Chain A
Amino acid sequence: MAKNADLKAYGRELTAKLLRDMVLMRRFEEKAGQMYGLRKIGGFCHLYIGQEAVATGAVAALDLARDYVITAYRDHGHALACGMDPGALMAELYGKATGCSKGKGGSMHLFDAPRHFLGGHGIVGGQIPLAAGVAFKIRYRDEGGVVLCFFGDGAIHQGAFHESLNMAKIWKLPVIFICENNQYGMGTDFRRVSAVHDLHAMGCAYGIEGRLVDGMDVLAVYDAVREAAERARADGEPAFLEARTYRYRGHSMSDPAKYRTKEELQAYKEQDPILILKARLEQAGWLEPAAYEALDAECKAVSEAAAAFADQSPEPPLSDLYNDVLV
Chain B
Amino acid sequence: MPIITVREAIRQAMDEEMARDDRVCLIGEEVAEYNGAYKVSQGLWDKYGSRRVVDTPIAEEGFAGLGVGAAMTGLRPIVEFMTFNFALMAIDQVINNAAKMLYMSGGQIPVPIVFRGPNGPAEYLAAQHSQALQSFFAHVPGLKVAAPSTPYDAKGLLKSAIRDDNPVIFLEAELMYAWTGEVPDGEYLVPLGQGVVRRPGHDVTVVSFSKPMRVALEAADALAAEGIDAEVVDLRSLRPLDDAVVCESVRRTHRCVVVDEAWPVASVGSHLAWLVSRNCFDDLDAPVECVASEDVPMPYNHRLELAVQPSVEKIVRAVKRVMYRES
Contacts and interface: CB of A to CB of B under 8 A. Distances in A.
Interface stretch (B16-24, B51-59, B279-287): B51-59
Interface string B23-60: 00000011001100100000000000000000111111
B301 A325 contact: no
A322 B296 contact: yes
A42 interface: yes
A259 B34 contact: yes
A108 B59 CA distance: 20
Interface stretch (B71-79, B119-127, B200-208, B224-232): B119-127
Contacts of B297: 325
Interface in B301-325: 301-304, 307-308
Interface string B242-255: 00000000000000
B30 A188 contact: yes
A125 B304 contact: no
A38 to B, nearest CB: 14
Interface residues of A, number: 40
A136 to B, nearest CB: 22
Interface stretch (A77-85, A154-162, A238-246): A154-162
Contact of B33 (A125, A126, A187): A187
Contacts of A185: 58
A268 interface: no
B55 A43 contact: no
Contact of A154 (B58, B129, B299): B58
A105 interface: yes
B89 interface: yes
Contact of B30 (A158, A186, A320): A186
B30 A187 contact: yes
Contact of A325 (B30, B125, B296): B296
Contacts of A186: 29-30, 34, 37
Given A123-B128, A159-B59, A193-B55, A316 B301 contact: yes
B129 A321 contact: no
Residue among A155, A157, A188 with the most chain B CB within 10 A? A188
Q: Is the interface of B mostly helix, strand, loop or mixed?
A: loop
A321 B296 contact: yes
Contacts of A320: 299, 304
Contacts of A92: 300
Contact of A187 (B34, B85, B296, B304): B34
A121 B89 CA distance: 14
A321 B304 contact: yes
Contacts of A316: 299, 301, 303-304
A169 B83 CA distance: 33
Given A108-B128, A122-B129, A103 B33 contact: no
Contacts of B89: 123, 125, 158
A158 B56 CA distance: 11
A139 interface: no
B303 A315 contact: yes
Interface in A133-173: 154-155, 157-159
Contacts of A108: 126, 128-129
Contacts of A101: 300
Contacts of A187: 30, 33-34
A107 to B, nearest CB: 8
Contacts of A157: 57-59, 62
Interface in B128-161: 128-129
Cβ-closest 8 pairs across A and B = A43-B124, A106-B300, A42-B124, A187-B34, A122-B128, A157-B57, A95-B301, A193-B57
Interface of A: 42-44, 92, 95-96, 101, 103-106, 108-109, 121-126, 154-155, 157-159, 185-188, 192-194, 259, 315-316, 318, 320-322, 325, 327
Given A126-B128, A188-B29, 12 more contacts: A43-B122, A92-B300, A95-B301, A103-B304, A104-B126, A108-B129, A157-B59, A158-B59, A158-B89, A186-B34, A188-B34, A321-B308
5 contacts: A106-B300, A154-B57, A188-B34, A193-B57, A325-B295
